[in-house]
Amino acid sequence: HISICDQVFSSASEQISLTAERYLEWASIVDHNRAKFVMQKATDTYPSDASLWNKRLSLLIEESADSKAVKKEFSLACQNPDVKKSPLIWNTVIEYAEEHDKKWTEILYEQSQFESFDLSVTLQLKSKYLQWVNQTKSIKEVRELFDKLSVRIPASLPFYMDYVKIEQSSSNPDNKRVKTAFEQAITYFGKTSADLWLVYLDYLKQRQSLDFITISRIHSRALHTLESDELARFNTECALKNLA
C-alpha cells in the first residue's frame, strides 16, 4: 500500500507541481531514506519554505548524525533569508545542539539574540537562552545574561518571569535584583498583564509580610496602570487570593 502511494506521489511530482504540504505528506508515508530523498526534492522545489527545511533537518538529526553534518545542513537551510527567519528551524537546531554540542549551543543562542534575523526568533529564544544558562552555568552568569538581554528589544514577559523564579530559587537570592526585574517588566507589560502585578504582589507579601505600605503602593499602581479587561481580572484575582 505504501509503495503504491509512493508511486502516486512520485508520478504526480513529475507531472504537476506538488504543494509543500503534499511533499510533507509524501515523506510521512515512506521509509527514512526515501523520506530524505523526498525532502531534498521538496526543498529544491520550494527553497524558501521553512517547514520543508525543518523536516529535512529533522530527518538528518534522527540518524544521530554528527554535529558537523547538522551544522552544514542548517547553514545550507539558512542561505535562504525566509528560512533563516523561522523560529521553527531555530528551535529544532537548538534542541539538537543542547544535547550534543554545548559550545555551538551558546553560539546559536548568541546569534538568535544579537544578529537579529527576525524579532520572532529573538523573542522565542530569549527565555530559553536564560533557562539554558541556568541549567549549565552559575547564577552569576545567569545574572550577567539577564543584564545584557533585559535592555534589548523585543521585550519578553516570560524572560522576566523566568529570571525572577531563577533568582528566587538560587542559594543566595538577590531581592534587589528581583524587584528591578519586576519594575523593568512593568515598563513593558504593566498595562497588559494582570498576572505580572499579581506575581509581584504575591512576592512582596511573602517577602515583606508587614510592609503594608509597599504592598498598598504597588496595588495602587496596578489599578492606575492596567487596561480595562486586565484590570477587571486583576481585581477578581486579588479578591480571590486576598492580595489587596
161: confidence class by pLDDT, cuts 50, 70, 90: very high
Q: What's the rounded mean pLDDT across residues 174-180?
A: 96
- Domain residues of the chain, as ranges? 1-99
Distance CA 206, CA 202 (A): 6
Instruction: Please state which CATH number belongs to domain 1-99.
Output: 1.25.40.10
Contact 51, 80 (CB under 8 A): no
Q: What pTM does this model have?
A: 0.87
Given this model, what pLDDT does residue 51 score? 96
Query: If DSSP states are collapsed to H, E and C, what string results for 184-239?
Result: HHHHHHCCCCHHHHHHHHHHHHHHCCCCHHHHHHHHHHHHHHCCHHHHHHHHHHHH
Q: What is the number of other CB atoms lying within 10 angstroms of the CB of residue 46?
A: 18
pLDDT for 165 equals: 98
Q: What is the pLDDT of residues 77-86, one digit of tens each?
A: 999 999 999 9
